[in-house]
Chains A and B, each alone.
Chain A
Amino acid sequence: GAGVSQSPSNKVTEKGKDVELRCDPISGHTALYWYRQRLGQGLEFLIYFQGNSAPDKSGLPSDRFSAERTGESVSTLTIQRTQQEDSAVYLCASSLPGGVFGGVYEQFFGPGTRLTVL
Chain B
Amino acid sequence: AQSVTQLDSQVPVFEEAPVELRCNYSSSVSVYLFWYVQYPNQGLQLLLKYLSGSTLVKGINGFEAEFNKSQTSFHLRKPSVHISDTAEYFCAVSPLERDDKIIFGKGTRLHILP
Contact = CB atoms under 8 A, between A and B. Distances in A.
A90 B22 CA distance: 26
B17 to A, nearest CB: 25
A57 to B, nearest CB: 11
Given A41-B106, A42-B104, A43-B104, A112 B99 contact: no
Contact of A43 (B46, B90, B97): B90
Contacts of B4: 42
Given A42-B105, A42-B106, A111 B43 contact: yes
Given A42-B4, A48-B101, A99-B99, A91 B44 contact: yes
Given A42-B4, A93-B44, 10 more contacts: A33-B100, A40-B106, A41-B106, A42-B90, A42-B107, A44-B104, A45-B102, A56-B101, A99-B98, A107-B102
Interface of A: 3-4, 31, 33, 35, 40-45, 48, 50, 56, 91, 93, 98-99, 104, 106-112
Interface of B: 4, 6, 9, 32, 36, 41-46, 49, 51, 90, 92, 94, 97-107
